[in-house]
């Protein structure tokens, strides 16, 4: 049984790996995380990489199997692996490499969902690949609404031949991508589809009120439950 000091050390390692890079002018990001009810920290995390020329951004939002403190050790290990893989393998091979890593782990540490986005900060073009993760949302400045992205895929660690859904798009000035874990939209009493519909409405109100702090305001409206929650927003300001 790990003591509080050990849990705190693992938490700090996870948080340090999740620090986002400073983006060039015209772009901004924000995130908010809330662990399962009764815990100080959980197993949702972010891994990111910004190319040396500041043009190409990669982000991976991950939700490991389990919640609260029980998910932290596996999350720390997977975060460390992804931190190395994101700079070592071609972006189209990242989820396959992460899946292979999890296939080699003990049975209780080998499942996770993930969404991986590669974003060209010069053009706004992006590619999203999903591994069993809830669908991303794309803010349409023209329609003033969050539209559902269609990328779907196999949860990491389930099989050695996973299929990862992929979509492509472009962010115009004033548009954004929103990523989140299933704890935000799913509970025993609400289906995933109903939860996503709820999130689209809450997130619309949040950004129309003020983009600053929108991720935290979204998280704050999620009912406390037995799953960790995370929200990540990347926006093209055009300024």
pTM, whole model, 2 decimals?
0.89
Burial 44-57 (b: 16+ CB within 10 A, else e): bbbbbbbeeeeeeb
Per-chain mean pLDDT for the chain:
86
Lowest average pLDDT, out of 47-51, 126-130, 150-154, goes to 150-154
The reported pLDDT for the residue numbered 213 is 95
The reported pLDDT for the residue numbered 1 is 45
Residue 182, Ramachandran bin (φ over 0: left; ψ between -120 and 50: alpha; else beta): alpha
Q: 178 or 19: whose pLDDT is higher?
A: 178
Tell me how far apart the alpha carbons of residues 238 and 27 are, in angstroms, rounded to a whole number: 7
At 144, is the pLDDT very low, low, confident or very high (cuts 50, 70, 90)?
very high
pLDDT, mean of residues 110-115: 90
Q: 188 or 26: whose pLDDT is higher?
A: 26
**SS3 at position 194:** helix
Say what percent of the chain tops pLDDT 70: 82
pLDDT, mean of residues 1-9: 55
The reported pLDDT for the residue numbered 182 is 87
The answer on pLDDT for 92 being more than 90 is yes
Q: Which residues are registered as beta bridge partners of 125? A: 170
**In the sheet where 229-236 sits, what is the strand order?**
27-34, 229-236, 176-180, 137-140, 145-148
Non-local CB neighbours of 76 within 8 Å, separated by 6+ positions:
10, 13, 14
Lowest average pLDDT, out of 5-14, 39-48, 136-145, 172-181, goes to 5-14
The answer on pLDDT for 228 being more than 90 is no
The reported pLDDT for the residue numbered 115 is 96
The reported pLDDT for the residue numbered 75 is 82
């Amino acid at each position: 049984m790990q003591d509080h000091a050990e849990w705190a050390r693992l938490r700090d390692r996870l948080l340090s790996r999740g620090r986002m890079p400073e983006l060039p002018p015209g772009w901004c990001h924000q995130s908010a995380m809330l662990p399962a009810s009764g815990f100080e920290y959980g197993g949702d995390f972010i891994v990111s990489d910004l190319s040396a020329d500041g043009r190409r951004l990669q982000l991976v939002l991950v939700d490991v199997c389990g919640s609260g403190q029980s998910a932290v050790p596996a999350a720390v290990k997977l975060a460390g692996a992804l931190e190395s893989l994101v700079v070592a393998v071609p972006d189209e091979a990242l989820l396959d490499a992460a899946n292979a890593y999890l296939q080699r782990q003990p049975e209780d540490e080998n499942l996770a969902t993930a969404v991986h986005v590669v974003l060209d900060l010069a053009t706004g073009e992006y590619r999203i690949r999903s591994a069993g993760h809830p669908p991303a949302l794309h803010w349409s400045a023209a329609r003033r609404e969050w539209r559902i992205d269609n990328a779907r895929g196999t949860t990491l660690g389930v099989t050695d031949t996973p299929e990862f859904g992929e979509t492509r798009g472009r962010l115009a000035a004033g548009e954004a991508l929103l990523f989140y874990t299933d704890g935000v939209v799913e509970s025993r009493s609400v289906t995933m589809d109903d939860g996503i519909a709820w999130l689209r409405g809450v997130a619309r109100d949040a950004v129309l009120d003020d983009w600053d702090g929108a991720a935290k305001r979204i998280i704050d409206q999620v009912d406390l439950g037995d799953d960790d929650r995370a929200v990540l927003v990347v926006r093209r300001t055009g300024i």
